[in-house]
Each structure stands twice: as C-alpha cells, then as structure tokens.
Amino acid sequence: MAEGRRDPQPGDLIEIFRPLYQHWALYVGDGYVIHVTDEEASSIFLSSSSISATRAKVKMELLKDVVKNDNWRVNNKYDRSRTPRRVKEIIRDAEQWIGEEVSYDVLTNNCEHFVTELRYGEALCDQVEEAINGGVIAAALGIVASVAAFAARALLRR
C-alpha cells in the first residue's frame, strides 16, 4: 500500500500537514505537484484553507516549495475503497488545469476534492466530514454538559 510513503510516484496524492489543516496535492513526477491554492491568502497558514475564499488557482510547483518546512507523506487513502484511474489519464487531466482559476469552497470544493477527483474520478474529502462530525459531537457534548450542570443546580436547590 502506498499510504505513508515518502517516495512519491506519478499520480500519488500528497498530504501536507499544515498547522491547522491538511493541504493536498497530486504528484506528477520529477519533483513536481499540481495543487489548488488560494493566492489571495496572506500566509501559508491560510493558503487553501481560507473560509472566505471563493476562487483559487491551479498551480504546478516543486513539492519542496509547496511543503516548505511542514511534514508530508504519500497518502492514497481511498485506494482501499476505490480504484484509481490510469496514471496517464490522471496526469493528463491534472496538467489541463494548470493556470486555471477555479471555484473554491472550503466545505464542498477544496484542495482534497480537487486531487481525489483527478485520482479516482470522484471528489472526496474526509477532512471536511471529520470536522463537521467533530463539531456535531462537540456541540452535543456541550449540550449534555449544560443539561447536567442545570440538573445538578436544581438538585442542590432542593
């Protein structure tokens, strides 16, 4: 399995661990990746994660320049449940996007959606689902804690 490797092959998904999120790119060979990036972001912390971004640009850049000092790995995590497209098709389709401005939405059309669409023919993003589910769980725990505190106060008043 390719997950976790540090020797990318053309067509591999690259997961880059930014301080507050994971950025995704597609390895195309010779040290280069293609990825979606929010050029208006004021820092690397906001690039491709800006909640207010509605447009982004598809770029081909050296992996080392995209990663900078962050950790990264090959992560073809959906290979277990989906069949990757042929590498030549993945690369051909990815290269057609270079330089294009695309619509961007952090929840429905982000950098992970972009690269998974290229590799699998389907836009997927666990990162968003996990954040939404985590938020729902956190909200539910907050409600439970509030109810418990209210009940405890009610019992103490008796």
**101-140 confidence digits (pLDDT tens):** 999 988 899 999 999 999 999 999 986 666 655 554 444 4
Q: Do residues 132 and 120 both lie within one domain?
A: no
pTM above 0.85, yes or no: no
Of the residues 35, 111, 113, 125, which is catalytic?
A: 111
Does 111 qualify as catalytic in the annotation?
A: yes
Q: Do residues 71 and 149 both lie within one domain?
A: no
Q: Do residues 61 and 104 both lie within one domain?
A: yes
Does 125 qualify as catalytic in the annotation?
A: no
Give the whole-angstrom CA distance, residue 17 versus residue 24.
9
By three-state DSSP, how is residue 89 classified? Answer: helix
Q: Note whether 26 and 117 are within 8 A (CB).
A: no
Distance of CA 90 to the CA centre of its chain: 18
Q: Do residues 67 and 117 both lie within one domain?
A: yes
39: domain range? 13-124
Of the residues 23, 35, 113, 125, which is catalytic?
A: 23
Give the whole-angstrom CA distance, residue 5 versus residue 42.
31
pLDDT, tens digit (0-9, with 9 covering 90-100), for 48-106: 445 567 899 999 999 999 999 999 999 999 999 999 999 999 999 999 999 999 999 88
Q: Do residues 66 and 119 both lie within one domain?
A: yes
Q: Note whether 6 and 21 are within 8 A (CB).
A: no
